Amino acid sequence: MSPPAQIGLVNGARSPAGNNHPSVGDGANGAPHASDFNTIESALEAIRNGKAVVVMDNEDRENEGDLIFAAEKATPELLAFTIRYSSGYICVGMHPDRLDELDLPLMVKENTDPLRTQYTVSVDAAEGVSTGISAADRAKTIHILGDYNVKSPSLLRRPGHVLPLRARKNGVLERGGHTEAAIDLTRLAGLSPAGALCELVNDDGTMKRRNDCIAFAREHGLKLVTISDLVAYRRLHNC
């Protein structure tokens, strides 16, 4: 399945400020090379233009890559691509104030998740969807979550097929997770701080690790960045 035009950027090339891609994992012992990754600026441009990016966390954390795109830019095509190449368990990282506005409380009172990921109650759009699980239905739900002009909690039904996640207010500077990366990348791209995210998986159901994600990003013309680079970017630019 080739990604729709809005999924990635042509050839997935590094921005002019960076280097051209060598072969996947050409560092010592097949380790990823710095130039396997793109700049944060190029990822922000992609997100601003309604495209998905691949975001890796640290190898000593989950060591996983997530597809992330702006919630307000959600389309059926983006969701279909994400569903095909991911776990299908699509979440939306959101700012706490937005979740409070939409009356979306935490799923449980006592969180025993090892990484303390803060799931809220699941949701579907209240109108204009069928069962809520299709790519088109989930795109509509995610778009509502990212549309800050939508103020009424009644526009969402509970439970549903999309999982909002409560991000830390200071983003990746407070917690180095994909949830926080989603709100930081969308905010820094000049969009509403809400980003859809889902873990990439291999065809055999195993999680894509770093070299898998490098190869996937190249194959589909996607920008690939790391959370550690996003942390450094925010500190450098005080943003």
Instruction: Cite the active site residues.
Output: 62, 66, 91, 119, 124, 161, 178, 199
The DSSP code for 124 is: E
Which tokens belong to 138?
A: 């989930």
Judge residue 155's burial from the number of C-beta atoms within 10 Å of its C-beta, 0-12 exposed, 13-18 middle, 19 or more buried. Answer: middle
Task: Identify the CA nearest to 184 among candidates 145, 140, 216, 228.
Answer: 228
Q: Is 75:50 a contact under the CB 8 Å cutoff?
A: yes
C-alpha 224/C-alpha 69 separation (Å) is 12
Which tokens belong to 17?
A: 């400020």
47: left (phi over 0), alpha (psi -120 to 50) or beta: alpha
C-alpha 73/C-alpha 66 separation (Å) is 17
Task: Identify the CA nearest to 161 among candidates 186, 182, 131.
Answer: 131
